[in-house]
Structure 1
Amino acid sequence: MLHMLMVGLLWFSAVGCGLLAGLYFAFSAFIMTALGRIGQAAGIAAMNAINIAIVQSLFLPIFLTTTAASGALAVIALFRWGEPGAMAMVAGGVLYVLGMFVVTMIFNVPLNNALAAADPASPEAASLWARYLTDWTLWNHVRTVASTAACALFIAAIAAR
């Protein structure tokens, strides 16, 4: 029974990490660049609209359940260390929880909150928007790499089993 649960969690986590890696990649590769090109007020308004819509979409349940499943896999693998793929499960789970979830909560969400509180037309918004574009995107790169690597590690754990 635990074996089937682990295999299900591995597949779910691999797919979830892959979905989120793709989303983060899109932001890193072209969305943030495009938002930076449309002007401060329009860019801020667009990003605020995205931030509202994203938490009302399927993103949030996938974000949360993939994090929980990845963390569970890391813990389970610690207790089953001698089994094939355990090291990849631990590495994938820890990398995803720290590199995606913790980074999101510590860096990206506070930046989103500051952007939401700003008046897009104010003089202070210019420096906030410039900092947002660089800092948010930097941390999004971290989330992209962590999610992609975790996906690969979960696939490696599946292959090892």
Structure 2
Amino acid sequence: MRTFLVPGLLWFSAIGCGLMAGLYYAFSTFIMTALGRIAPASGMAAMHAINVDILRSSFLPLFLATTMAAGLLAVVGALRWGEPGALAMVAGGTIYLLGMFGVTMFCNVPLNDALVAAGDGTGPVEIWARYLKEWTMWNHVRTLSSIAAFALYIAALVQR
């Protein structure tokens, strides 16, 4: 059983990171651009609806499970430092926890909360312009972090 635990976590984490990277990539490359091209009130209302619905979807369990698996892999890699793939596990977990989870909690979520406080399109247009710029910038970080962790978990699997 133990011989399958680490490879199973690596596969789960690689797939989870890949799915998260794809979602964030879509937001970074065209969703936020499209929302920015429509009227601010409509864009704000659409983003608010997305933020509500994403928490009710399968996104949240995947988000949380992948984050926990990344933390576990970072610890396992540190405890098995001399083994093949350990450095990739530690690096992948650290990058994912800081660049995806940390950025989400300390950057994107507060911006989402500020958008809610501004109202569904009734807040100042400046809030929407700032939101689009800052949220997208931090989303780029989440995208790149998820891609990097995905690649590192695949490298760890290959090295093992």
Please tell me the TM-score bracket, short chain as reference. over 0.9
Q: Which residue of 2 aligns with 1:119?
A: 119
In structure 2, give the amino acid aligned to 1:142.
Answer: V
Whole-angstrom distance in 2 between the partners of 1:6 and 1:37: 45
Letter in 2 for 1:128: I
Residue 59 (str. 1) matches residue 59 (str. 2): yes
**What corresponds to 1:91 in structure 2?**
91
TM-score (norm 2): 0.97
**4+ runs deviating over 4 angstroms:** none
Q: Distance in 2 between matches of 1:119 and 1:95?
A: 34
The answer to whether the 8 A contact 1:108-1:140 is kept is yes
Contact 1:40-1:120 at 8 Å conserved across structures:
no
Structure 1 counterpart SS, 2:124:
helix
Separation in structure 2 between the aligned mates of residue 42 and residue 121 of structure 1, nearest angstrom: 6
Evaluate the alpha carbon distance shift between residue 121 and residue 149 of structure 1 in structure 2; reply closer, same or farther with a 3 A threshold: closer
Q: CA deviation at 1:127?
A: 0.8
TM-score normalized by the length of structure 1:
0.97
Instruction: Please tell me whether the aligned partners of residues 73 and 90 of structure 1 are also in contact (alpha carbons under 8 angstroms).
Output: yes
1:25 matches 2:28: no
Shift of residue 121, structure 1, vs aligned partner: 4.5
Write the mapping of 1:1-161 to structure 2, written as runs, cut at 5 A: 1-122=1-122, 124-161=123-160
Contact persistence 1:77–1:86 (CA under 8 A): yes
Instruction: Write the letter of the residue equivalent to 2:124.
Output: A
Over residues 50-101 of structure 1, what are the superposed CA-to-partner deviations in whole Å (9 max), with x where a residue is unaligned?
Answer: 0000000000000000000010000011010111100000000000000000
CA 1:121–1:84 in structure 2 vs 1: closer, same or farther (change >3 Å)?
Answer: closer
Give the distance between the partners of 1:152 and 1:128, measured in 2 at CA.
Answer: 36
Partners of 2:35 and 2:109 lie apart in 1 by: 18
For residues 74 and 156 of structure 1, the distance between their equivalents in structure 2, rounded to whole angstroms, comes to: 14
Give the unaligned 5+ runs of structure 1. Answer: none
Q: Aligned to 1:84, what secondary structure does the other structure show?
A: coil
Give the AA of the match of 2:99. Answer: G
Contact residue 92 and residue 154 of structure 1 kept, 8 A: yes
> Once the two structures are superposed, what CA deviation does each residue of 1:8-61 show, in whole Å capped at 9, x if it has no partner?
000000000000000000000000000000110000000000000000000000
**Structure 1 vs Structure 2 CA RMSD:** 0.9
